[in-house]
Amino acid sequence: MNSIVSARGAFSGAFNVAVALSIALRPAGAQSDRAANLYRESYALEAKRDYPSALAKVREAKQAGSNAYFASLRMGWLSYLAGDYVFSAASYGDAVTAEPKAIEPKLGRTLPLLAAGNWRELERGCREVLALDAQNATALARLAIAQYNSGNFVDAAASYRKLIEGYPSDLDFKTGLGWALLKQGRTADARPLFEAVLAVSPDNLNALKGLGRN
């Protein structure tokens, strides 16, 4: 943000110091109540899909002394919803810095990376989550997507196989494996997967396309 220098600079500086002192001298409960009300307003604005305004309220809450980790996490979420993927990833990164051992900010950061199609960073982020929680299906699924879109179909197939072991009925994982095999030229191996999906979901577009029926 640009600063503006004027003849009133000295007065503005003194005024800002006075405001800062008044805030610092307020009872802790007053600041806490203000932050809580700002969060209340933020949730209401999010419900109305006014994500920029909801984000602005969290910024105010953070300035009012709200928990920095939670504020950063929520800023990451709201900026993701607003389509600002760069700021979203940075905000989740701030939350990771505040709580290095936490899984949720690392997993949250994969959302804007996925939306932006930043496959290399997405793969790295997913592996960070899996290093802490090897059975995290969300991270493994997003890792498979990153591998597939990077053209690494062998590893993508391995990731989808692992997912199917834990979630045998998940149709997205089955079609994902089918396509990863298809991209390797393994049509005979992919066909049974697509057929199995169509047996329970006959209008599944990914399976139909895999079999060349759409």
- CA distances in angstroms from 6 to 13, 119, 151, listed in the order given: 11, 47, 57
Residues 126 and 62 reside in one and the same domain: yes
Summarised one tens digit per residue, pLDDT across range 172-191 is: 999 999 999 999 999 999 99
CATH number at residue 201: 1.25.40
Predicted structure pTM score: 0.82
Q: What is the mean pLDDT of the chain?
A: 88
Between CA 179 and CA 209 the distance in angstroms is 10
Summarised one tens digit per residue, pLDDT across range 101-124 is: 999 999 999 999 999 999 999 999
- Helix 68-81 / helix 85-98 crossing angle, nearest 10 deg: 160
* Domain termination residue (choose one: 107, 127, 150): 150
Tokens representing 166 are 């834990």
Domain count across the chain: 2
Domain of residue 177: give its range: 153-214
Residues 94 and 183 reside in one and the same domain: no
Residues 141 and 177 reside in one and the same domain: no
CATH number at residue 99: 1.25.40.10
Residues 90 and 117 reside in one and the same domain: yes
Residues 101 and 199 reside in one and the same domain: no
